[in-house]
Amino acid sequence: MNYPRLLSNFRIATDALLANKMRSALTALGIIFGVAAVIAMLAIGNGAQQEILEQIRLVGVNNIVIKPVLEQEEGEVDEKAGTGSTEAPKRFSRGLDMADARSIQKLIPTVDQVSPEVVFETDLIRAGYRRTSRIVGVSPAYFEITNLPLSEGTHFTEEQMEKGQGVCIIGAGIRKKFFTNEPALGNYLKVGSHWLKVVGIMQETLVSEKAIENLGIRDFNMDVYAPIKTVLGRYINRASVLSGNPDENTVFFNGGSVSFGDDEEDKKKPKNYHQLDRLVVQVKQSEAVTATTAIILRMLKRRHNEVVDFEVTIPEQLLKQQQRTKDIFNIVLGAIAGISLLVGGIGIMNIMLASVLERTREIGTRRALGATKKDVVTQFMFEAVMISLSGGLAGVILGVSMAYAIETVTDIQTIISPLSIIVSFGVSAAIGLIFGITPARKAANQNPIESLRYE
């Protein structure tokens, strides 16, 4: 290879680009925005994929979620009475309770562990600051099933669970709100009317509000967690009905009472008689999820006296649907970014073709002075590749900046991978080669004599 000749062609190409700075910059714009779009779109796609993995980690593909449903009255119209009433024989159900959780754990061999939950809306108070939040009563299995690690402190001990002691684990958001200038561990937080000692702090979870709503999970960062016996014993236990008549308007618990109202409108409203607000069942093998769900449905229906006052959800179905939506979103974004690069390449080809026409006399002069067709091809290829590479470098900088700006402004998680930068930069170089071939060959194939005569 004749390196001095190659270097000379490179120098001529550089001088030609510097002599037409504005045209070169405008030519590179297509590549700049194309590369930037590829990096930014891939960053959004990687962020979406990371969010999906985070959701799978929180919900678990082997989990079956059981939620209570307030029983709706139904029945046939009493035509004889002529009143249009819908009275039907009522069946009594104790609702979703701890006994259901124990039965599922004990009787179904495919079940690994069960996590009952009780959620109670209350106020958090400390150092003159007050905020509405939730206290969640959980069992030891909760943190393992949801795979929520602690950043500080320890999980509940067996003694704390059995005796229902006044301890709690707080989310990362609660620590930021109530313990800004002092350590949270070992301190007390007033939750409702009780002071609870902080024994652990959970790691911050990064899940969007939309995902939380779609998957039926809570914002773990803003919750307070306590042993389930602590919540049932000190706050609310809807299953502790002292009255023998389940249709009474008042439910008693722990020395207190909650009135459902005495007027006709309140009497028509369904009463929440369920002890638990959620029951998560973790299955040993994902292949057994469907069969286990069918068994749980039959078991709960029998235990609830044929009253279907619960719903069973397999989060995997929701995750698959959400993953499909995000995949379509990523494909569309990728296609837009690819089209941007293609348009940039076409722009390079068009400008280079115009440049060949504009520099016909220059090409003829070079050929007359001894330049070969290969020299002319090399010169124009150098120009196209330099435009692409400089545009690609500027596009990388712009794309990285766009990804950070999108995350900051829109609160959409973006993850920039080195692979996306390498691929986009490599594609920009390839575009320079591919779309520079036609103009370079056209320039080389021109007749030197006719080129010298060109006005």
Question: What tokens does 433 get?
Answer: 């080669």
Tell me: do 7 and 48 sit in the same domain.
yes
Distance CA 24, CA 18 (A): 8
Residue 293 in any domain: the answer is yes
Map residue 70 onto helix, strand or coil.
coil
Query: How many residues would you count in the chain?
Result: 455
Same domain, 22 and 163: no
Same domain, 303 and 387: no
d(CA 353, CA 157) in angstroms, rounded, equals 77
How high is the pLDDT of residue 218?
64
What residues make up the domain containing 48? Answer: 3-54+321-453
pLDDT (0 to 100) of residue 300 = 92
User: What is the C-alpha separation between 400 and 398, in angstroms, rounded?
Assistant: 6
Q: How many domains does the chain have?
A: 2
Of 308, 333, 361, which residue constitutes the final position of a domain? Answer: 308
Contacts (Cβ under 8 Å, ≥6 apart) of 358: none
**DSSP sequence for 89-155:** -------S-HHHHHHHHHH-TTEEEEEEEEEEEEEEEETTEEEEEEEEEE-THHHHHTT--EEEE-P
Residue 269 placed within a domain:
no
Q: Let me know whether 218 and 296 are in one domain.
A: yes
Are 247 and 197 within 8 A, CB to CB? no
Q: Is residue 10 part of a domain?
A: yes
The reply to whether 288 and 332 lie within a common domain is: no
Q: What is the C-alpha to C-alpha distance for residues 349 and 384, in angstroms, rounded to an integer?
A: 8
327 and 423 co-located in one domain = yes
- pTM of this prediction exceeds 0.85: no
Residue 127 is assigned to a structural domain of this protein: yes
Are 234 and 297 in the same domain?
A: yes
118 and 196, same domain (yes or no): yes
DSSP state of 82: T
Same domain? For 125 and 164 the reply is yes
Whether residues 90 and 118 share a domain: the answer is yes
Q: Does 233 lie in the same domain as 99? A: yes
The CA distance from 296 to 442, in Å, is 75
Is position 262 within any domain?
no
Q: Which residues contact 454 (CB under 8 A, 6 or more apart)?
A: 360, 361, 364
| Separation between Cα atoms, residue 212 and residue 71, nearest integer Å | 26
* pLDDT for position 47: 81
Q: Tell me how far apart the alpha carbons of residues 64 and 293 are, in angstroms, rounded to a whole number.
A: 7
Q: Is 288 part of a structural domain of the chain?
A: yes
Which pairing describes strands 194-202 and 111-126: parallel, antiparallel, or unpaired? unpaired
Asked, for residue 62, whether it belongs to a domain, the answer is: no
pLDDT by residue for the chain (455 residues), tens digit each?
Answer: 567 777 877 787 787 777 778 877 877 787 788 788 888 888 887 787 777 666 665 566 678 889 988 755 555 544 444 444 445 556 778 888 899 999 999 999 999 999 999 998 999 998 888 999 889 999 888 888 887 888 899 999 999 998 989 999 999 889 988 998 889 999 999 999 899 999 999 988 765 555 555 555 567 788 999 999 999 988 887 766 433 444 444 343 333 334 444 455 545 556 778 889 889 998 888 778 889 999 999 999 999 888 888 888 876 665 666 667 667 766 776 777 677 777 777 777 777 777 776 677 777 777 777 777 788 778 778 878 888 888 888 989 998 999 899 888 887 788 888 887 887 788 777 877 777 777 777 777 777 666 566 55
Shared domain for 357 and 228, answered yes or no, is no
Asked if residue 182 lies in contact with residue 127, where contact means CB atoms within 8 angstroms, the answer is: no
**Angle at the Cα of 381 (from 347 to 32), degrees rounded to 5?**
40
Is residue 166 one of the residues assigned to a domain?
yes
Query: How far is 321 from 106, CA to CA, in rounded Å?
Result: 33
